[in-house]
Structure 1
Amino acid sequence: MAWPHRQGRLTTLLLATLSLVWADPEQQALTIDDACNSGESEGSCDLTLTQLRGLPRRASEDNSSEVMAEVSSGRSQVSRRLRIVNGCNSQPMWIAHIAGASMGPDPQNVRINPGSFYDFETPSHLSAMRYWPKMGCDESGHNCKIGSSGGPGQSCQWNPATGQEDYSRCHPPVDTKFEASYGENGAPCNPKTPGGVEMKGCDYVDLSLVDGWTLPVKFEASGDCRTNKDEKVEVLDCAALSLAACPTAEHLTAAGVTADLRAINPVTHQVSGCYSPCAKLLDTKWSNKELAQGRQPESAEVSPYCCPTPPQTPESCRAGPITHTDFLKTVHQKCPGVYGYAYDDGTGLMRCSSATHYTVTFFCPATLPA
């Protein structure tokens, strides 16, 4: 079963560049086939990456049997290299995840109490992982005030009246996300070796704000992490990325509208996220249906913000109105080094050795969910 709106956030341009620079097939694992847009899905389609970016997707290699073999053998006991910390000292949070189109080896909706942490499994070749925070949930980690944007094992996409999938019941997919594909534990990650023969031990990780954000976040790497420009990365600090900084009067000149980018939960009436300009013009949930209904990423009023190729090119996107938005200015000011749109010049995808340990800390929102 596909979970189309939880797909990865990487551009075709970036992946093409990496394939030349790093020459490693493992980094392709962050791309996934979008069955919803290919017409193979019988369920309703929500906001997908293909809709957001207008980019083709392709299936990642199916290595679930290899991953589970490592987990069941006990080797996973020494392969918990991702620590997610609840940096909010007043409320618990739950961490949801997706592995490709299914769940990874850890439980879904892991509860983390204030100031505590959870170490997630990172077995070899676990690909296309995405982790995002939820807050204000019930005891099972469902019915949350922030972060109930769907995915495997999540209750929001099921309509109890019909027993059918209904993604309209989920939140807009604007979550702050950590994304990763893990290499072979213990194997080398050396792109300087001719022929790319020492790349099996490479992880590929990133923070994603291209669709928007929910909670502030800080990323720390203990090991060797590099950008595609071979610049070392140890910290990406987005702790100042508050929902209070979400633009309330974004002038989307190409669309001829001034939009409030705050995603306001219709149940709590609180700000639960911040749309990117692209997501604001395409997602039809909550009070956004009238603005986004019928728009396509290739439309003249939308493509300068979503930058699908075609019709946009990297050059036209960077020269377009997205670079003048308050949203992007906020991302660059509050979260330096992280991508704010498809062809941004931020850090983006990082290549790390499989000996690297990651700490991702999510912090309280500007207003705690009631």
Structure 2
Amino acid sequence: MECARPKRRCSHISAQTPLLLGLPTSAQQLYLLSNMRGWAAASVALAVLCGVHAEVVLEALQRDDTCADSGDCDLSLAQLRGLQESVPSQEAEVALETKAGRATAAADSAEVKRLRIVNGCHSKPMWIAHAIGAGSGPDQNVKILPGQFHDFPTPSHLSATRFWPKMGCDDSGHNCAIGSSGGPGQICQFNPITGQEDYKNCAPPVDTKFEASFGENGAPCNPKTPGGVEMKGCDYVDISLVDGWTLPVKLDIQGDCRTATDQKVNVLDCEGLSLGLCPAAERLTAAGIFADLHAINPKTHKVAGCYSPCSKLLDTKWSNKERPAGRRPEESEVSPYCCPTPPQTPESCRAGPITGTSFLKTVHEKCPGVYGYAYDDGMGLMRCSSATHYTVTYYCPADIPA
């Protein structure tokens, strides 16, 4: 068996290699398993069979970012062999099985992608923005062509994430007709003159959002276990229209998701939601006004979103006439719609005027099971197992931006 070989692409390592090289049957089986499970395990397998400590090989490969990212291995097996003396033959299979298994587990953990977002608009591209707490991950402003999708990483304990669609954007995914509401990495929120944050050039944050906090991958999610000791694997997800909406959406769930009342959920379907259903004369009794909830983009002069009653009363962008200067969510005419605590409680909010609005009626009719206001938890928030996969599909608005 010839272990010294030039630099090569990891993908060139074939499952047939051990058969051609005449390796023992048990080694063939271990090699085939490792080859099927990924480049790192396969490299460890070959290296051990060539007489190199698997742990040393794995450490070297982990340092080789080029190989991990593109498949171009900068270290040949001959170079790896020179790192340490041979493993005794009786230890080879044990080292292979143990180290390759660990490499596979590490690779699988790093590559978990349980969230797929689909562009269901078959005539225009869309971009997906996201936030993770106050920051973002590497896949910011991802462009998705019509009918295509993007899979987002969902590592363990990824918390407080929000994803929303943008349309009618420039090539960089900015200056959008719909969805340029600010957030991590969004240029609308920075003043080019002062260099400071300034959201006045952003759209109102009325986006149709998918929100999630992901649990520990592979851990159990069992609230019936006493003491809450099997909750590390729980995801908490929802589609939120608390601030308003932009695009229709559908959430397909493959796995086990439950509402607060333990009802199993397989789909949240808001395909019937449209900007044409946005109330034009919403009666906000506590504020003493009738409000048009349409959000009009001042550049395109087209409807680009639908305000929630709370957003309409508080947001200052796009010449929102119903928002007097200095109004705060705690004020008596606003708090029944925004429900800050204090002064509102969950009970007073659910008994207040927000539940009688046309906005909320539309949300519950067209998006059953979806958040429509701050304490809509009984319908909106779901608890899911860490094996669950989510497919979020955003559709065209009624008036597709150029």
**Within-5 A mapping of 1:163-182:** 163-182=195-214
Q: CA deviation at 1:163?
A: 1.9
Q: CA deviation at 1:76?
A: 4.7
Please name the residue that 1:84 is paired with.
117
Please name the residue that 1:113 is paired with.
145
CA distance in 2, matches of 1:365, 1:127: 29
Q: CA deviation at 1:80?
A: 0.7
1:42-71 Cα distance to aligned partner (Å, 9 max, x none): xxxxxxxxxxxxxxxxxxxxxxxxxxxx9x
Contact 1:284/1:290 (<8 A) preserved: no
Contact 2:272/2:366 (<8 A) preserved: yes
Structure showing the higher helix proportion among its residues: 2
**Within-5 A mapping of 1:1-370:** 74-76=107-109, 78-104=111-137, 106-288=138-320, 291-344=323-376, 346-370=378-402
Please name the residue that 1:8 is paired with.
none
Q: CA deviation at 1:197?
A: 1.3
CA distance in 2, matches of 1:188, 1:315: 32
Q: Give TM-score, length-normalised by structure 2.
A: 0.72
CA distance in 2, matches of 1:231, 1:79: 27
SS in 2 for 1:322: helix
Please name the residue that 2:20 is paired with.
none
Q: CA deviation at 1:312?
A: 2.0
User: 5+ unaligned residues in a row in structure 2: which ranges?
Assistant: 1-102
Q: CA deviation at 1:161?
A: 2.2
1:343-368 Cα distance to aligned partner (Å, 9 max, x none): 23652111111100000000001100
Equivalent position amino acid for 1:74 in 2 = A
Contact 2:116/2:151 (<8 A) preserved: yes
Count of matched residue pairs:
299
1:145-168 Cα distance to aligned partner (Å, 9 max, x none): 100011111110111122221111
SS in 2 for 1:347: helix
CA distance in 2, matches of 1:323, 1:270: 28
CA distance in 1, matches of 2:173, 2:211: 21
Equivalent position amino acid for 1:355 in 2 = A
Q: Which runs of 4+ in 1 moved over 6 A?
A: none
CA distance in 1, matches of 2:320, 2:228: 47
CA distance in 2, matches of 1:195, 1:345: 23
CA distance in 2, matches of 1:247, 1:175: 16
The 3 A distance-change label for structure 1 pair 192 and 153 is same
Contact 2:238/2:371 (<8 A) preserved: no
Equivalent position amino acid for 2:176 in 1 = C
SS in 1 for 2:178: coil
SS in 1 for 2:354: helix
1:262-295 Cα distance to aligned partner (Å, 9 max, x none): 0000000011110000110000101215624211
SS in 2 for 1:244: helix
CA distance in 1, matches of 2:144, 2:118: 8
Q: CA deviation at 1:126?
A: 1.0
CA distance in 2, matches of 1:91, 1:108: 19
CA distance in 1, matches of 2:338, 2:257: 28
Equivalent position amino acid for 1:145 in 2 = A
- C-alpha root-mean-square deviation of aligned residues, in Å? 1.7
Contact 2:371/2:381 (<8 A) preserved: no
CA distance in 1, matches of 2:305, 2:232: 37
Please name the residue that 1:55 is paired with.
none
Q: CA deviation at 1:318?
A: 2.2
Identity of aligned residues (%): 77
Contact 2:259/2:379 (<8 A) preserved: yes
Give the structure with higher Rg (CA).
2
Q: CA deviation at 1:220?
A: 1.1
Contact 1:336/1:346 (<8 A) preserved: no
Q: Give TM-score, length-normalised by structure 1.
A: 0.78
Contact 2:109/2:217 (<8 A) preserved: no
CA distance in 2, matches of 1:285, 1:179: 24
Q: Whose relative contact order is higher, 1 or 2, with alpha carbons under 8 Å and at least 6 apart?
A: 1
1:78-115 Cα distance to aligned partner (Å, 9 max, x none): 411101000000000000011111112x3210000000
Equivalent position amino acid for 2:252 in 1 = E
CA distance in 1, matches of 2:111, 2:198: 39
Q: CA deviation at 1:199?
A: 1.2
1:188-231 Cα distance to aligned partner (Å, 9 max, x none): 11111111111111111111001100101001110000112111
Equivalent position amino acid for 1:94 in 2 = W
Contact 1:283/1:289 (<8 A) preserved: no
Contact 2:291/2:322 (<8 A) preserved: no
Contact 1:243/1:273 (<8 A) preserved: yes
The 3 A distance-change label for structure 1 pair 290 and 202 is closer
CA distance in 2, matches of 1:94, 1:328: 27
CA distance in 2, matches of 1:169, 1:74: 42
Contact 1:76/1:122 (<8 A) preserved: no
